[in-house]
Copies of this chain bind each other. A is one copy, B any other.
C-alpha cells in the first residue's frame, strides 16, 4: 500500500491561490478585526478546500505559547492519580490546552529527565506529583527561573519551594482515622505509614497521633511502622505485629493496598474484622468498597484535587501573560472518612 503523502498545505499556499499575502491569511484565520468579512470568508473557504490545518509548531515558536501542559505523576495506573489525570485532562481540554503525561515510576532519576524534556518541549505549565523519594527539587528550578507556571500536588515539597501547592488535608485524614478508631473503642492501635521523606505521611502521622492523644490513648511508637506501602511489605509488618500478644485491636494503614493486605492476613490467621480488629485505610480505592468486609477509608476527592490544580495553574497562566507572578500559595483539598464494615461492630 504505497501512499503518496500529500504535502501539508500552508497559509502561503492559501495566499498564493487567493492572490493575497500570507499575513492577511494569518490574520483572517485568527479573526483579526481589521480584515474584511469578505476576505475572511474567501480564506476560510479556501482553507477548507485545501485541507489546511494550522501548524501548531510554527505558531508556538513564533508566539512562545504551546498551549500544552506537562504532567509528571509517579504511576498513571494508581487509582488516585488516574482519577486526577482524568479530571485535569478534561478541564484543560476545555481551556484549549493539551496534556503531556509522564510517569516517573517513583524514580527521582526519571523525574529529573522528564522535567528536562518538558522544559525542552516548552510547555506552558507543569503539574507535578513527585516521587516518594524526591527531596531535592532543584530539577524544577528551571521552570521557576523562567517564570513557567509550576504546581505541585499530592506529594509536595516538604521544604519551602517557590511554587503553587495543592495538597490533601493529610493531617485531618490522619486525625479522622485515629479518632474513628478511638471512638470505636480500640485501645491498642497500630499503624503503618509510608516513608516520612514524603509530605503525605508526615501530615497523616501527625494527625493520627494527635487524635490518639486527644482520646487519652498514648500513641504506642512500637506499633507504628514505616515502609513503602506494598502488599508484601504490609504482610511482613503484620507478621511482626501479630507475633506477640496482646494483639492490636485497631489498625490504620496509610493506603488501601495495605488495608487489603490486612484483610488477607486476617482471613489466613482467623482474625475477625471488625470484631477482633478494626481497620481504616486511606484513599478510597474502589477495591475498598467491594471487598468483604468493606474497608473504612479516607476519601481524597481526586476530582476536587483536579479542579484545584487546574485552577492554580489557570491563575498562573493568566498572570504570566500579564507578567505578574503570584506568591506561592498552598491550597488544601478536603478529605472525608468513609465508614464501612471494617470498623462497624454490626
Residues of B within 8 A of A99 (CB): 100-102
Most buried by B among A77, A79, A102, A263: A77
CA distance A77 to B83 in the complex (A): 6
Expressed in whole angstroms, the minimum distance between the Cβ of A255 and any Cβ of chain B is: 14
Q: 8 Å CB contacts to B: which residues of A230-263?
A: 260, 263
Q: Does any Cβ of B come within 8 Å of A291's Cβ?
A: yes
Interface-side segment among A118-126, A151-159, A175-183, A220-228: A118-126
CA distance A110 to B89 in the complex (A): 12
Q: Does any Cβ of B come within 8 Å of A48's Cβ?
A: no
CA distance A31 to B203 in the complex (A): 48
Q: 8 Å CB contacts to B: which residues of A184-210?
A: none
Q: Does any Cβ of B come within 8 Å of A284's Cβ?
A: no
- Whether B77 contacts A82 by the Cβ 8 Å rule is yes
The contact string, 1 if C-beta is below 8 Å from chain B, for chain A 111-133, is 00010110111100000000000
Q: Which of B8, B89, B263 contacts A102 (CB 8 A)?
A: B89
Interface-side segment among A17-25, A39-47, A55-63, A268-276: A55-63
Q: 8 Å CB contacts to B: which residues of A66-93?
A: 66, 68, 75-77, 79, 82-83, 85-86, 89-90, 93
Residues of B within 8 A of A142 (CB): 51, 53
Residues of B within 8 A of A26 (CB): none
Q: Is the interface of A mostly helix, strand, loop or mixed?
A: mixed
- Whether A145 contacts B6 by the Cβ 8 Å rule is yes
Expressed in whole angstroms, the minimum distance between the Cβ of A290 and any Cβ of chain B is: 5
The contact string, 1 if C-beta is below 8 Å from chain B, for chain A 311-342, is 00000000000010111100000000000000
Q: Does any Cβ of B come within 8 Å of A32's Cβ?
A: no
Q: Does any Cβ of B come within 8 Å of A54's Cβ?
A: yes
Q: Does any Cβ of B come within 8 Å of A5's Cβ?
A: yes
15 additional A-B pairs beyond A53-B116, A292-B292, beta carbons within 8 Å, are A2-B325, A3-B145, A53-B142, A56-B122, A57-B61, A76-B76, A76-B82, A76-B85, A76-B86, A85-B101, A98-B100, A98-B117, A100-B100, A260-B290, A263-B290
Give the B-binding residues of A (Cβ under 8 A): 1-3, 5-6, 8, 51, 53-58, 60-61, 66, 68, 75-77, 79, 82-83, 85-86, 89-90, 93, 98-103, 105, 110, 114, 116-117, 119-122, 142, 144-147, 162, 260, 263, 286-287, 290-292, 323, 325-328
26 A–B contacts, CB within 8 A, in A order: A1-B162, A3-B144, A3-B147, A5-B145, A5-B147, A51-B145, A53-B119, A54-B120, A56-B120, A57-B66, A68-B121, A77-B79, A77-B85, A77-B86, A82-B82, A85-B101, A93-B102, A98-B102, A99-B100, A99-B101, A100-B101, A286-B287, A287-B287, A290-B290, A291-B292, A292-B292
